[in-house]
């Protein structure tokens, strides 16, 4: 066994490789996918169809989250069936049924349908979502519309309502660390939203047919663009104001060392803590950060910070990306 062998690191790195091996590589989408049709950017949907194979691959951390979601999904489907039997109220049918609206080239796989046990009539379609920290704050349709990721869920649910012609839908939310903490957020078909999704699909289809990205407008919105996996192709016209520049030797050395040590997680974390000591005072008061994006540079490295809608001052800003070299060819992850 090599002297440098570290069992904890080997297992951690092995788990990351496993997560990546269980994720599909980026690929072009043959149609407008239901789970993304609620995305506000026409250009993003266009690029998913025409250049999806060039999308920035997801990092291992996200691949692991998706993998966890698929396991939660499996367990919850069975739990819903058990709850339906125990209550005598509903059955679960139509699991993973593929849906295809040829006219608008919208496709998806609905998680399932709840049907009345007595009448056999559909009650609603549903989609299972495993949720971490956000679980407690998502309780109503308005809550779903207030968070950009769950807004996509409503677009997805709306497209499923149109595709199945069952005008009621449910997002089944499952707490990630307690798979029997389940809540359901139901909503009816909103025809205006449905029409806007169809209109969006028509615009994207026309742009794809013409091979003309200009027919699919960009949103140039930092909230979506800064972590868009297609930003390096799209090159959005956004300006992110600079938040400051730290010159302290100690911080510069630490952030440089962080880059060298990335595979060695514990030392990396120690350097990160040191750099963070400088970052908070440099960013300034959290008040007024909500919804805004700032950059902060330490030596030749830069990081993006985005204000959240949380009110607690201590949590009012969060870092969104890893440090990256200023002017590096690679776009932010």
* Cβ-contact 254, 274 below 8 angstroms: yes
116 DSSP β-pair partners: 90
DSSP-derived pairing of the beta strands 168-175 and 324-325: unpaired
x-marked contacts with ligand SF4 along 179-218 as a string, rule CB under 6 A: ---------------------------------------x
**Contact call for residue 41 and ligand SF4 (CB under 6 A):** yes
Residue 158 makes CB contacts below 8 A (sequence gap 6+) with: 38, 169, 189, 190, 193, 194, 197
Distance of alpha carbon 283 from alpha carbon 286, whole angstroms: 8
**Contact call for residue 231 and ligand SF4 (CB under 6 A):** yes
**Contact call for residue 236 and ligand SF4 (CB under 6 A):** yes
**Contact call for residue 320 and ligand SF4 (CB under 6 A):** no
What is 11-47 written as a DSSP string?
Answer: HHHHHHHHHHHTSPPP---SSEEGGGTT-S-HHHHHH
**Contact call for residue 272 and ligand SF4 (CB under 6 A):** no
Residue closer to ligand SF4 (CB basis): 97 or 233: 233
Residue 290 makes CB contacts below 8 A (sequence gap 6+) with: 307, 308, 309, 310, 316
Dihedral, 279, 282, 288, 289 alpha carbons, nearest 10 = -30
**Contact call for residue 44 and ligand SF4 (CB under 6 A):** yes
x-marked contacts with ligand SF4 along 106-145 as a string, rule CB under 6 A: ----------------------------------------
**Contact call for residue 33 and ligand SF4 (CB under 6 A):** no
Residue closer to ligand SF4 (CB basis): 123 or 225: 225
Span near ligand SF4 by CB under 6 A; candidates 39-47, 63-71, 162-170, 289-297: 39-47
**Contact call for residue 304 and ligand SF4 (CB under 6 A):** no
Residue 248 makes CB contacts below 8 A (sequence gap 6+) with: 278
Span near ligand SF4 by CB under 6 A; candidates 159-167, 172-180, 223-231, 263-271: 223-231
Distance of alpha carbon 114 from alpha carbon 99, whole angstroms: 17
Total residues contacting ligand SF4 by CB under 6 A comes to 14
Output the smallest distance, CB 63 to ligand SF4, in A. 20
Which position has the token pair 């679980």? 135
Residues in touch with ligand SF4 (CB under 6 A)? 41, 43-44, 47, 218-220, 224-225, 228, 230-231, 234, 236
């Amino acid at each position: 066994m090599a002297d440098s062998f570290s069992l904890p690191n080997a297992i951690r790195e092995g788990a990351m490789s496993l997560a990546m091996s269980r994720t599909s590589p980026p690929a072009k989408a043959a149609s407008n996918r239901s789970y993304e049709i609620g995305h506000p950017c026409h250009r993003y949907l266009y690029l998913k169809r025409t250049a999806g194979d060039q999308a920035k691959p997801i990092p291992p951390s996200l691949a692991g989250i998706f993998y966890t979601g698929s396991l939660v999904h499996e367990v919850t489907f069975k739990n819903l069936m058990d709850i339906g039997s125990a209550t005598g109220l509903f059955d679960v049918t139509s699991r993973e049924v593929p849906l295809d609206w040829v006219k608008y080239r919208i496709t998806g796989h609905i998680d399932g349908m709840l049907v009345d046990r007595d009448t056999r009539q559909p009650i609603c379609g549903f989609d299972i979502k495993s949720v971490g920290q956000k679980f407690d704050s998502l309780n109503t349709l308005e809550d779903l519309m207030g968070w950009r990721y769950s807004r996509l869920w409503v677009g997805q649910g709306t497209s499923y309502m149109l595709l199945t012609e069952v005008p009621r839908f449910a997002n089944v939310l499952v707490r990630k660390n307690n798979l029997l903490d389940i809540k359901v957020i139901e909503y009816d078909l909103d025809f205006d939203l449905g029409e806007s999704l169809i209109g969006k699909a028509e615009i994207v289809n026309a742009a794809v047919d013409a091979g003309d990205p200009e027919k699919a407008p960009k949103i140039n919105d930092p909230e979506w663009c800064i972590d868009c996996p297609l930003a390096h192709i799209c090159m959005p016209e956004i300006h992110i104001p600079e938040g400051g520049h730290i010159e302290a030797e100690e911080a510069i050395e630490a952030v440089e060392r962080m880059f060298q040590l990335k595979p060695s997680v514990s030392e990396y974390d120690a350097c990160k803590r040191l750099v963070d000591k400088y970052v908070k005072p440099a960013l300034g008061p959290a008040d007024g950060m909500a919804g805004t994006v700032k950059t902060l540079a330490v030596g030749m490295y830069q990081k993006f910070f985005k204000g959240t809608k949380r009110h607690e001052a201590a949590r009012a800003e969060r870092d969104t990306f890893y440090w990256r070299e200023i002017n590096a060819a690679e776009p932010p992850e």
